[in-house]
Amino acid sequence: MNSSFNKFLIFRKWIIIIVIFIFSTNFLFIQNVNALSDSRQFVLDAWTLVNEGYYDPERLDEIQWKRLRQKTLQKQIETSNEAYSAIEDMLKPLEDPFTRVLRPKDYQLLKSSNFGSEINGVGLQLGEDEATKQIKVISTLAGSPAEEAGIISGDFINTVDGISSEDLGLANTASKLRGASGTKVLVQISSSTGEIREIDLERRSVELRPVRTKRLRDDSHTIGYLRITQFSESVPKKIEEALQELKDKEVEGLILDLRNNSGGLVSSGIAVADSFLSEKPIVETKDRNGIKDAIISQKNTFFDGPMVTLVNKGTASASEILAGSLQDNQRSTLMGEQTYGKGLIQSLKSLGEDSGIAITVASYLTPKGNNIQGRGITPDKILDLPEAREYGNAEDKWVKNAEIFLNSLFDENKTEESSNELVIQDVKN
């Protein structure tokens, strides 16, 4: 009896131990699942945003986007870094460098460039070459270390601190160039002619002065010079103030300088076009459903005098929208060289942990229906001249050519007015 009872006690003891072990294991497992679910949910949120917003659903079908979600979620995703890497791998098959995840540092920097007054880094605006997929310099920020080092639009980034830009990709190349003021980064650059050089750049705070203006005067005419370096949130208001100031100075015409303006907020570019156009089409956007939406300017303008707009291969995105609208509506003569050719629009969405994701949500066409993606805009007058190191200064031959062109327009108008007066007088006589 005692022997049976002891056996029963031992059996019960083992049952209790097994039950405790199972519950403990399950508790730890549940905790681990909960910890993992945050990171996995992070990836799933990014997938959902792209799935619902990407401008080309057919492309999503081509790369089997739904299967990519399943494949990605099967990976080990326990940390934020693993989640970011998983999202980056998930987006690669799209082959769209503008649809990208933005880690906290990059997300804050992009927001500060769109809404702030300064950024830290070397001052390079980068893109991906359509043909070669190399990382390409779109433009350099005025007064930045990159500009001072002589890096120009069209140069290629080969390596950053010894790491190939091909391995890094666009987003990570841009990220590695950013950093705290005073730190250095070694960049290998190759020019369009094949010349290779290494440059040691020191990062620093670069003041963003998106709007710059001055008055150009000679013996007979007064011209306004207006340079826009990027389209941040504050630009439309600053443009209105600048145009009013120039009108108060009684300028006869305007030189609008969009060279090395790599874009920014599309809404700001459209708002600036509205300052020059009266009830004219600015741009036509096409969303994922194929719906075309034409944006028309308001009736009132802030400046309606003669204009010349300067563009170069660093003129991209929102600045191409502005340039294209002015050209197609015959509002301004375009002078310079072929623009960059970015005809896609991105929307910036927030993710967890102060990060974000940029998603290509639409393409755009100029008012005459021209698709500039990968092609750019051809100016009315090509300028085959060296560019000045400082745009708008006394040695800037492009600005001088624009002045000469505007002066010729003024003289033509004056001659026509004189001829009309003579005809009127003859009729009276």
pLDDT digits (tens, 9 = 90+) for 245-271: 999 999 999 999 999 888 888 999 999
* Banded pLDDT at 28 (limits 50, 70, 90): very low
Q: Is the pLDDT of residue 93 over 90?
A: yes
Asked whether the CA dihedral 81, 82, 86, 89 is positive or negative, the reply is: positive
Per-residue tokens: 38? 């945050």
Positions annotated as catalytic residues are: 317, 328, 342
Q: Is the pLDDT of residue 35 over 50?
A: no
Q: Are 69 and 58 in contact (CB under 8 A)?
A: no
Which residue reads 């874009």 in tokens?
263
Q: Are 152 and 120 in contact (CB under 8 A)?
A: no
Residue 181's CB is within 10 A of a number of other CB atoms, namely 11
H-helix segments, 178-317? 235-248, 266-274
Give CA angle at 279 (216, 286), nearest 5°.
105
State the pLDDT at residue 33: 40
Full set of structural domains in the chain with CATH: 2-94 (3.30.750), 118-207 (2.30.42.10), 211-412 (3.90.226.10)
User: What residue ranges in 169-299 does DSSP mark as E strands?
Assistant: 184-190, 196-202, 204-207, 211-217, 222-228, 253-257, 281-286, 292-296
State the pLDDT at residue 144: 86
State the pLDDT at residue 38: 83
pLDDT digits (tens, 9 = 90+) for 142-173: 788 998 898 988 899 999 999 999 888 887 88
Q: Is the pLDDT of residue 32 over 50?
A: no
User: Which of the residue ranges 26-40, 162-176, 348-362 would you say has the lowest mean pLDDT?
Assistant: 26-40
Mean pLDDT within 332-352: 92
* Banded pLDDT at 372 (limits 50, 70, 90): very high
Give Cα 169 distance to the centre of its chain: 16
State the pLDDT at residue 87: 95
Name the percent of the chain lying above pLDDT 90: 54
The helix, strand and coil proportions of the chain, stated in percent and rounded to the nearest 5, come to 40, 25, 35
Q: Which residues of 132-165 are buried (b: 16+ CB within 10 A; e: fewer)?
A: eeebbbbbbbbebbbbebebbbbbbbbbbeeeeb
pLDDT digits (tens, 9 = 90+) for 392-405: 888 899 999 999 99
Mean pLDDT within 40-52: 94
Round to whole Å and give the CA distance between 198 and 185.
10
Per-residue tokens: 139? 């433009």
